[in-house]
Amino acid sequence: MGLAKRIIPCLDVTNGRVVKGVNFITLQDAGDPVEISRRYDEQGADELTFLDITASSDNRGLILHIIEKVAAQVFIPLTVGGGVRHVDDVRRLLNAGADKVSINTSAVQNRQLVADAAGRYGAQCIVVAIDAKQVHGTGTKSAKWEVFTHGGRKATSLDAVEWAKEIQLLGAGEILLTSMNRDGTRNGFDLALIRTVSDAVDIPVIASGGVGNLDHLVEGILQGHADAVLAASIFHYGEYTVRQAKEYMAQHGIEVRM
Amino acid sequence: MTDIAIVDYGMGNLRSVSKALEHVAPTASIIVTSNPAEVQKAARVVFPGQGAMPNCMKEMDARGLRGAVLEAAANKPFLGICIGLQMLFEVSEEGNVKGLGILPGKVIQFTTMEDTSGQKLKVPHMGWNQVYQSAEHPMWKGIAKDTRFYFVHSYYVETADPEPVAGYSFYPFQFTCAVARDNIFAVQFHPEKSDIAGLTLLKNFVLWEPLIRR
């Protein structure tokens, strides 16, 4: 027996509440972040990821209070992302109780930020999030994926696989990889994307975007070669508990923490 | 008198460690400190560490903490966590830096390998792995034998003799993840992030009364 594959519920947070976007247009309220964190912890979540999607900078401080509250009650790794621009943002989140900080747009704009943050706080707490969209071909052989920033609104012309390799060289400890084609569709991960990136790097890759049922989680590990799987909506609305997801993965021969 | 001092040498975030200790010992006085005198005054000492070991050694010395750490490791309940375990050994492959040399052995880097199914094993070794207890110890009290703890590290310790090994894990080969000698207990994993099992271990530390060699 060895290292377990991780299941990571993701909480999109805005103005102090957990929300779930439906195709990025309407946001539905899904509850109180502290309450939801405790519930997922009790169900056996291996980590929790919080994405601060607050649009206005006025309310950005709210996420710090939420993380402080969660960290005092939930003793599993907490990752926080959204709006991280400076090493000082990393410091504030870690001091609030985050264990890892996820950097997306700013990593592309300023590669030195990743190197500086990893150098200062250690690779283990720096996650780089990649939002990738398929731009060419099909399958693992000919497909190409482009990196987008600013919540998927801005193309970068960066190739996702090359960017993943660069992130590793910059010193990041982990990659959170989201398929924009699949995000919100509930049709399953982009397995070709996940597998191509995961096989190309030595650091762990978290698969994200498109989970609609428990088979998708299994596929992400077995076919996508992901080290961890992230999902939001299947857990938020009580369709499945984290424990059910783990039991299902275990039935399919995947090592999980029960 | 302070019950527990968490040694802060400016490497990484110690809030998680203090929060978890406060949770299991709500009435204890717990401080996070970089002051050697405060470490000396504490009844118990937690020695954590994050990031790269050469930086950890450098920052510890820059704050004049070496003496206080050595003293604590010699005469009071002492818990090393992550790099705080690695620093107890003689030397690390990470920057070829010398450690404190309290325990014989060295710190070695994981290389990426494949598991039996041919899938690449990533480095850092990150996530929940099973910990096998190779020796009975008060720190393992109430923790089942193959319980999973949360790890995140790229280097591991190789002890020069088997005597201090208290626990081991596999990735994919066997490596030491817990050591114990007299009043010292040190772990590669993060008890403060290991849910109920980790809190149990921290609670055990708060209650642990090892025999102190004088």
Enter the pTM of the model. Answer: 0.95
Residue A55 confidence class, pLDDT cut points 50, 70, 90: low
Question: What is the predicted pLDDT for the residue at B100?
Answer: 98
Nearest residue in B to A122, CA atom: B51
Q: How many CB pairs under 8 A join A and B?
A: 111
Residues of A in contact with B95 (CB under 8 A): none
| Helix or strand (DSSP H, E) at A228 | strand A228-231
Contact B130/A46, CB-based, under 8 Å?
no
Residues of B in contact with A97 (CB under 8 A): 15-16, 19
Question: What is the predicted pLDDT for the residue at A184?
Answer: 85
Give burial (CB, 10 Å; 0-12/13-18/19+) of A23.
exposed
* B113 at interface of A, judged by CB pairs closer than 8 A: no
pLDDT score of B71 more than 60: yes
Average pLDDT score over chain B: 94
For the segment B165-186, the average pLDDT, to the nearest whole number, is 97
Query: Which residues of B are catalytically annotated?
Result: 82, 190, 192
For the segment B58-73, the average pLDDT, to the nearest whole number, is 97
* Residues whose CB is less than 8 angstroms from the CB of residue A60 and which lie 6 or more positions away in sequence, other chains included: A52, A54, A83
Token pair for B108:
């070695």
Q: Which of A28-42, A54-68, A196-210 has the lowest mean pLDDT?
A: A54-68
Contact A1/B122, CB-based, under 8 Å?
no
Closest partner residue to A75 among B124, B129, B199, by Cβ? B199
pLDDT score of A200 more than 70: yes
B75-104 b/e (C-beta count within 10 Å ≥ 16 → b): ebbbbbbbbbbbbbbeebebeebebbebbe
Q: Best of B114, B145, B152, B194 to disrupt the A interface by mutation (most A CBs within 10 Å)?
A: B152
Question: What is the predicted pLDDT for the residue at A28?
Answer: 76
Written as one string, the DSSP assignment of B115-166 is -TTSPEEPSSEEEEEE-EESS--GGGTT--TT-EEEEEESEEEEESSSTTEE
Residues of B in contact with A67 (CB under 8 A): none
Spell out the CATH class of B4-207: alpha beta
Residue B149 confidence class, pLDDT cut points 50, 70, 90: very high
Phi, psi of A44 (to 5 degrees): 100, 20
Residue A84 confidence class, pLDDT cut points 50, 70, 90: very high
Give domain limits for chain B.
4-207
d(CA A151, CA A153): 6
pLDDT score of A22 more than 60: no
pLDDT score of A140 more than 70: no
Residue B31 confidence class, pLDDT cut points 50, 70, 90: very high
Q: Best of B129, B195, B199, B200 to disrupt the A interface by mutation (most A CBs within 10 Å)?
A: B195
Question: What is the predicted pLDDT for the residue at A57?
Answer: 66
Q: Which of residues 162-181 of B touch A (CB under 8 A)?
A: 169-172
Question: What is the predicted pLDDT for the residue at B12?
Answer: 67
* Residues whose CB is less than 8 angstroms from the CB of residue B156 and which lie 6 or more positions away in sequence, other chains included: B107, B108, B110, B125, B175, B176, B177, B188
Contact A202/B123, CB-based, under 8 Å?
yes
Query: Which residues of A are catalytically annotated?
Result: 12, 131
Residue A222 confidence class, pLDDT cut points 50, 70, 90: very high
Residues of A in contact with B148 (CB under 8 A): 4, 257
Contact A225/B194, CB-based, under 8 Å?
no
For the segment A72-96, the average pLDDT, to the nearest whole number, is 93
Place of tokens 């705080």: B84
Residues of B in contact with A122 (CB under 8 A): 11-12, 50-52
Residues of B in contact with A71 (CB under 8 A): 15-16, 19
Contact A46/B127, CB-based, under 8 Å?
yes
Residues of B in contact with A199 (CB under 8 A): 120
Question: What is the predicted pLDDT for the residue at A36?
Answer: 95
Q: Which of residues 118-137 of A touch B (CB under 8 A)?
A: 120-125
Closest partner residue to A202 among B12, B112, B199, by Cβ? B112
The bridge status of strand A17-22 relative to strand B113-114 is unpaired
Residue A73 confidence class, pLDDT cut points 50, 70, 90: very high
* B120 at interface of A, judged by CB pairs closer than 8 A: yes
pLDDT score of B1 more than 80: no
Question: What is the predicted pLDDT for the residue at B117?
Answer: 74
For the segment A190-215, the average pLDDT, to the nearest whole number, is 97
Contact A125/B13, CB-based, under 8 Å?
yes
ipTM tops the 0.90 cut? yes
